[in-house]
């Protein structure tokens, strides 16, 4: 039996992970499930999977969790430290599916146990990538990518011969506003932005997909995970989201991973790796897919892409600032305090105003993150929608 923990169990990726685990309940023992404040869903999932521990990060929700778990024998805890403790329970396999840099502490805690840590949560890799990768090495932990593109690259990448890789081709759906004019994008609502054409995801990543900042974050994520130069990672728009990414070798061969746009496919790959497991996915019907299209991304309408590429190339604190400002701007947009185009503008502005030295520790990353959030927050206040 594989002992598993899901950090962010009530979210989109967390729910997809639970679905796979519950279909093969005899193969998995659930140690811990965590959530931010949805105690209803958390308690229900903990009871269904007979988890040992359920943790709610927002400690004010703990009484509600305790009440729902009364008499079940499942332990309930609350607060961010308890989330990290849950990550330290020594699972063989941990799904990191918290959204944002809030997942960094729990990811680092999970790595301490030396098991397999699966990253859906991309923001820690963007802001503190080197530290995360180093910690995995130090503790003998295995990092596996669940992000569909990076999982695709992982499946195609010859890790023994990275020097034979010429290019990584990161595919992007282009999001719901792929063909919109800048003028039309100015007045999009949060509801329009979270309605992704191909994928069903949490609100933050859906907005990131709409601004294409998600692809920018994924560019940085790819550079952290795979030993290739940033200039060797290309982004191509592929509206059907069937090819999840590709690796080109020096001989001109290109390997691609294809599949339906359902996160259960990459998650199942990491759950069973290096083996394979069945999923409920119907076989892909190529005839009904009909065609696969490709286009170049438009840097003028989607400025987030260039911001992310510059942050990656400049390195140091830049990716952490990019991520922090983006988290603040996306939250403001979702709560109606910002128009859609101002998201990238706030990220650009924060990067222009704040340029600290490269962080050399986790504490330094967190300090840069906090300061960048403060800068971005000030700028959000100036925006009147």
- Give the binding-site size for ligand NAD (rule: CB under 6 A): 27
DSSP annotation string for 4-15: EEEETTTSHHHH
Q: What is the DSSP letter of 147?
A: S
* From candidates 43, 74, 102, 351, binder to ligand NAD by CB under 6 A: 102
CA angle 246, 147, 338 (to 5 degrees): 115
**Which residue minimizes CB distance to ligand NAD?**
11
* From candidates 30, 83, 194, 304, binder to ligand NAD by CB under 6 A: 83
Q: Is residue 311 involved in binding ligand NAD (CB under 6 A)? A: no
Find the helix or strand (DSSP H, E) in which 202 lies: none
- Determine the Cα–Cα distance for residues 2 and 92; give it in Å rounded to an integer: 6
Least spacing, CB of residue 35 vs ligand NAD, in Å = 4
Least spacing, CB of residue 249 vs ligand NAD, in Å = 26
Subset of 132-151 contacting ligand NAD (CB under 6 A) = 147
End-to-end Cα distance, the chain? 53
Candidate segments 5-13, 23-31, 65-73, 179-187, binder of ligand NAD by CB under 6 A: 5-13
Q: Is residue 81 involved in binding ligand NAD (CB under 6 A)? A: no
* From candidates 4, 5, 10, 248, binder to ligand NAD by CB under 6 A: 10
DSSP annotation string for 67-111: HHHTTS--EEEESHHHHHHHHTS--SEEEE---SGGGHHHHHHHH
Q: Is residue 327 involved in binding ligand NAD (CB under 6 A)? A: no
H helix intervals, 164-212: 182-185, 190-194, 203-211
91 and 17 in contact (C-beta within 8 Å)? no
7 and 34 in contact (C-beta within 8 Å)? yes
Report the DSSP beta bridge partners of residue 248.
167, 254
Q: Name the residue nearer to Mg ion (CB basis): 36 or 148.
A: 148
- Determine the Cα–Cα distance for residues 319 and 218; give it in Å rounded to an integer: 11
Q: Is residue 202 involved in binding ligand NAD (CB under 6 A)? A: yes
* From candidates 8, 129, 190, 259, binder to ligand NAD by CB under 6 A: 8
Find the helix or strand (DSSP H, E) in which 245 lies: strand 243-249
**Residue 348 exposed, middle or buried by CB count within 10 Å (0-12, 13-18, 19+):** middle
With CB cut-offs between 5 and 8 Å by kind, which of ligand NAD, Mg ion, none does residue 120 bind?
A: ligand NAD
Sheet containing 243-249: which strands, arranged edge to edge? 233-237, 165-172, 243-249, 254-258
DSSP annotation string for 268-313: HHHHHTTS----SPPPP-HHHH-----B---TTT-THHHHHHHHHH
Least spacing, CB of residue 57 vs ligand NAD, in Å = 3
Q: Is residue 14 involved in binding ligand NAD (CB under 6 A)? A: yes
Q: Name the residue nearer to ligand NAD (CB basis): 307 or 330.
A: 330
Q: Is residue 123 involved in binding ligand NAD (CB under 6 A)? A: yes
Residues 154-193, one symbol each (x = binds ligand NAD by CB under 6 A, - = not), give ----------------------------------------
Q: Is residue 265 involved in binding ligand NAD (CB under 6 A)? A: no
Least spacing, CB of residue 170 vs Mg ion, in Å = 9
Candidate segments 7-15, 146-154, 192-200, 304-312, binder of Mg ion by CB under 5 A: 146-154
* From candidates 123, 147, 327, 342, binder to Mg ion by CB under 5 A: 147
For binding to ligand NAD (CB under 6 A), which residues are involved? 8-14, 35-36, 38, 57, 83, 97-99, 102, 120-123, 147, 199, 201-202, 204-205, 263
The residues of the shown chain that bind Mg ion, judged by CB under 5 A, are 147-149
């Amino acid at each position: 039996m594989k002992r598993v923990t899901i950090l962010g169990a009530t979210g989109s990726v967390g729910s997809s992970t639970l679905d796979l685990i519950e279909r093969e309940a005899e193969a998995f023992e659930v140690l811990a499930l965590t959530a931010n404040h949805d105690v209803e869903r958390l308690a229900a999932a903990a009871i269904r999977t007979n988890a040992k521990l359920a943790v709610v990060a927002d400690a004010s929700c703990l009484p509600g969790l305790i009440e729902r778990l009364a008499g079940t024998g499942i332990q309930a805890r609350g607060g961010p430290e308890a989330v990290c403790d849950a990550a330290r329970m020594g699972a063989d396999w941990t799904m990191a599916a918290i959204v944002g840099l809030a997942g960094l502490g729990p990811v680092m805690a999970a790595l301490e146990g030396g098991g397999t840590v699966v990253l859906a949560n991309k923001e820690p890799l963007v802001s503190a990538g080197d530290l995360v990768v180093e910690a995995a090495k130090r503790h003998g932990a295995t990092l596996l990518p669940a992000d569909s593109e990076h999982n695709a690259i992982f499946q195609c990448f010859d890790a023994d011969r990275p020097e034979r890789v010429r290019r990584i081709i990161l595919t992007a759906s282009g999001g719901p506003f792929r063909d919109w004019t800048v003028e039309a994008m100015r007045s999009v609502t949060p509801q329009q932005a979270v309605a992704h054409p191909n994928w069903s995801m949490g609100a933050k990543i859906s907005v990131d997909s709409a601004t294409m900042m998600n692809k920018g974050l994924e560019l940085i994520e790819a550079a952290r995970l795979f030993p290739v130069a940033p200039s060797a990672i290309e982004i191509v728009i592929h509206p059907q989201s069937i090819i999840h990414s590709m690796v080109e070798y020096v001989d001109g061969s290109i390997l691609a991973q294809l599949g339906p746009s359902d996160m259960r496919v990459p998650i199942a790959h990491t759950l069973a790796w290096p083996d394979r497991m069945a999923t409920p996915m119907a076989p892909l019907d190529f005839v009904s897919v009909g065609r696969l299209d490709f286009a170049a991304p438009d840097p003028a309408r989607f400025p987030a892409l260039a911001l992310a590429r510059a942050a990656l190339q400049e390195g140091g604190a830049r990716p952490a600032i990019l991520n922090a400002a983006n988290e603040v701007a996306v939250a403001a947009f979702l709560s109606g305090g910002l128009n859609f185009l101002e998201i990238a503008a706030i990220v650009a502005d924060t990067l222009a105003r704040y340029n600290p030295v490269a962080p050399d520790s986790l504490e330094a990353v967190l300090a840069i993150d906090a300061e960048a959030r403060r800068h971005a927050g000030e700028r959000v206040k100036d925006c009147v929608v």
